[in-house]
Amino acid sequence: MTTSATARPLSGGLITLMASAIGIIVANLYYVQPLLHQIRGDFHVSTSSAASLMTLTQVGYAAGLAFVVPLGDLIRRRRLVVAIFCVAALTMAVASFLSSFAPFAVVTFFIGLSSVGGQVIVPFAADLADEHNRGRIIAQVMTGLILGILLSRTVSGLIAQFAGWRAVYWFATVLVAFAAVVLHFVLPDEPLRPRVKYHHLVVGSFSLLATVPVLRRRAWFGALIFAVNSAFWTTLSFHLSAAPFHYSNGIIGFFGLFGVAGVIGANFAGHHADRSFAARTTLVASILMLGSAGVLWLGRASFLGVALGLVLLEGGMQGLQITNQSVIYKLLPDARSRVNSAYMVCCFTGASIGSYAAGELYARYQWGGVCLLGVALGLGLTIPAALRRSASAAN
């Protein structure tokens, strides 16, 4: 099938734009994480109720991946992306005005649902890239996603420190709306695609998990890395706002910067994925994530201990995420949006389970319970990765 890639290859400026847009919209998912302890106090709810906001956001994101992202294989992605960004700006605006916990919780679901624009842009970039550089291009646009996640936590904490947590949502509204306007004028258009019924797209996404073993295996890895990552970041603000730290919003948000290792890990993995070292990078990243849980437990009362644990966590998380995506985008070139949808639904299902479990464990057993969960999930990653690496070496 002919795509716009043949007519307009990716330029450096377009890659930068796509990466920036992905970072701007994915940040909507994570602004709330360093604010959870403050939202808990303002709405007078329990720790597990406050943590459920992250779960609802991730469930909404998974729903968007399942029912919105597959549309990228049906309609022109430029129109779809701009529409999603407009809806995302509206949901953030609504959230900023709500004063009751129940409606705020409902809106967080729709914030997640409308934050999937980046997952339409990523396969768009993969289509525009040539075969030999696809892993590198994916790593570059995903750098925007990683920076969006990292900076969202830091910016959120700083804004809340000086202007209150609602100002974070006002800031996001303006930023996403501006991105929608820019994308409307700059994103390349595509030729019309063959007509496919919508329900075939949705069902087809999940049928790929049954018929493509590589996708199924990578979806398992994706679900676990998102579960581990989400478990720690969802409960981190509770841990850092309590004894012995008693940190403010600004300092809690600052911890997001320790995830900069994720940018390094992502680009390293993209470089090596292009050279067929996926089994090796998968094992290394899995070991990093397992080790991060141990470090976060042993260093639980230390600034440096928590910081080092987060560096390992993000380095492993993003390294394995880019490896996964570099692998799955080579599977079915004509169905990349559906492949991405199936994979990311599994990832955010894992994330929502990780957030929920971590909230419950923290309420009962504090940080130690979350670290134990991280070890269990890390073993679920590392053991299959080691077995797969051994099999690859034997062949």
As a residue count, the chain comes to 395
89/28 Cα distance (integer angstroms):
9
| CATH number of residue 106's parent domain | 1.20.1250.20
Q: How many other C-beta atoms lie within 10 A of the C-beta of residue 160?
A: 23
In a domain, 149, yes or no: yes
Going residue by residue through the chain, which has 395 residues, state the pLDDT in tens, using 9 for 90 and above.
334 444 456 788 899 999 999 999 999 999 999 999 999 999 999 999 999 999 999 999 999 988 998 888 788 889 999 999 999 999 999 999 999 999 999 999 999 999 999 989 988 887 787 777 777 787 788 888 888 988 999 999 999 999 999 999 999 999 999 999 999 999 988 766 666 778 877 888 889 999 999 999 999 999 999 999 999 999 999 999 999 999 999 999 999 888 776 666 666 665 665 555 788 889 989 999 999 999 999 999 999 999 999 999 988 988 898 889 888 988 887 777 788 888 989 999 999 999 999 999 999 999 999 999 999 999 999 999 998 877 766 65
Residues 6+ apart with CB under 8 A from 247: 240, 241
In a domain, 257, yes or no: yes
Q: Which amino acid is at 148?
A: G
Q: Two tokens at 19? A: 């990466």
Is the model's pTM score more than 0.75? yes
Q: Two tokens at 198? A: 């919508």
Give the residue among 57, 166, 153, 165 at the shortest CA–CA distance from 114: 57
321/135 Cα distance (integer angstroms):
12
In a domain, 147, yes or no: yes
In a domain, 7, yes or no: no
* Helix, strand, coil percentages, rounded to 5, for the chain: 85, 0, 15
In a domain, 2, yes or no: no
CB 279 within 8 Å of CB 215: no
Question: Can you give the residue range of the structural domain that contains 209?
Answer: 12-394
Domains in the chain, number: 1
Query: Alpha carbon 6 to chain centroid distance?
Result: 30
